[in-house]
Structure 1
């Protein structure tokens, strides 16, 4: 049966992040993608102008419709809006057999502002992460989840262990926000195994939707039955290609190039 995956997240009218980035990534990885939209946003490469949460009954109707008809083998979450929406998603995920759950904890905007309330963060920590197979925070998000500051490699490892103790098996702390100017290094704690994902850092502002795309690629590979490590390594290569071959669209932080990997595979 053709692999099928779901993204539960917000819609990005600019097409670079959220649901749109996830579906593009699923398609590029040869996985049939579906979605349950948590919020409609008005945004472009310059920023977010407006957010309209989808009514919870409509969110639940989307999830129920997907479960009623499709053979879903992996699911990811992105922007979950608030405590009520998160609780609704959790209630459905507890009932559905949708395979591995990848949580991209969209909590912190690029400028540093929190996107969700303290109550919502607590719900993610206490109720969503115990259901998750993989969680993919960047450093600011890992600081919030682990409830500690991160300024060194040792603290990255300590934070990952704290997050893992919340019930999620695999923690990936992304290094895009680190001060390392030469490399982008992501720390992976998979069960008791640990390793680093390393790639040359690309000097660019064409990075809108990188977190969404990275976690979506992991989701797609797991939907196809890949091992956790293979899925993570593939996602690192995919997002590195997407960043290093920019489209230069828009006047702000432009989107990544979701089909860049095709050119590399042909070379």
Structure 2
């Protein structure tokens, strides 16, 4: 995952979520960023060889029970992660394909998208794109829950065991995330729509919570449902004052 200097997304959100779930988190840093609450100003990917060395050092030291990927930064880094999965160094990951910023603006190139589709998504136990990322990966717009169902099913065809399109695809009283299970069953994961702008790191948190559940031995669907409930609860508590933009998820405060 990448470093967010504001401490709301990326590796900060991942490690905080792991701690809340009672699992020890380790990090291979994939990129360093400069960000404000309303913008991603700069992204500097790490050297892919250094990312490989970080992963190998972690694998040499600890038994790895679960993996979550975030912003990977370059196609070469995607290849490194995929190689470690295929070689058995890493278990099948929860892949949060960070391809767009919080405003839906794309900040990666076609080469990275292709590496995700061809190498990483097929190896995943779950992928958790938000609406913008799902639209980008599928190459089609999303205008309704029915569209999200179709795109989630399309992405499942890439090989991931489970697909969850997050972001609350029905902005009424209910937030609907769409889950396609390994057997092709489509579920709508519903929760109350939380009226807050402070959602920074919510996608990272969802994927990290899913990975934490898997690391604790939970079934993948149970881990996904638990992650949905956790994020909903923490968003309810995310009511920061005096911030010019989207503040972080309140990981430590129950709503």
TMscore range, shorter length:
over 0.9
Q: Deviations over 1:112-168 (max 9, x none)?
A: 221210111011011111110100111111112122222122221211111111111
SS in 1 for 2:102: coil
* Residue segments in structure 2 that go unaligned for 5+ positions in a row: none
Corresponding residue for 1:159? 151
Corresponding residue for 1:186? 177
- Note if contact 2:82-2:119 (Cα within 8 Å) is conserved in structure 1: yes
Q: In terms of mean alpha carbon deviation, does 77-86 or 242-251 score higher? A: 242-251
| Aligned-partner Cα distance in 2 for 1:126–1:100 | 15
| Aligned-partner Cα distance in 2 for 1:255–1:138 | 17
Of 178, 193, 202 in structure 2, the residue corresponding to residue 201 of structure 1 is: 193
Corresponding residue for 1:6? none
- Note if contact 2:196-2:239 (Cα within 8 Å) is conserved in structure 1: no
Corresponding residue for 2:92? 100
The 5 A counterparts of 1:1-267 are: 9-176=1-168, 178=169, 180-191=171-182, 192-246=184-238, 248=240, 250-261=243-254
Corresponding residue for 1:4? none
Q: Deviations over 1:23-58 (max 9, x none)?
A: 000000000000000011122423323222212221
| Aligned-partner Cα distance in 1 for 2:29–2:157 | 29
| Aligned-partner Cα distance in 2 for 1:259–1:229 | 24
- Note if contact 2:178-2:187 (Cα within 8 Å) is conserved in structure 1: yes
| Aligned-partner Cα distance in 2 for 1:175–1:257 | 17
Return the TM-score normalized by structure 2.
0.94
| Aligned-partner Cα distance in 2 for 1:38–1:139 | 23
- Structure 1 vs Structure 2 CA RMSD: 1.5
Paired residues in the alignment total 253
| Aligned-partner Cα distance in 2 for 1:212–1:93 | 20
SS in 2 for 1:208: coil
Deviation, structure 1 residue 97: 4.0
* Residue segments in structure 1 that go unaligned for 5+ positions in a row: 1-8
- Note if contact 1:247-1:256 (Cα within 8 Å) is conserved in structure 2: no
Rate the CA distance shift 1:46–1:160 in 2: closer, same or farther, 3 A.
closer
Q: Deviations over 1:203-255 (max 9, x none)?
A: 21111000000000000000000011211111011101111101517432100
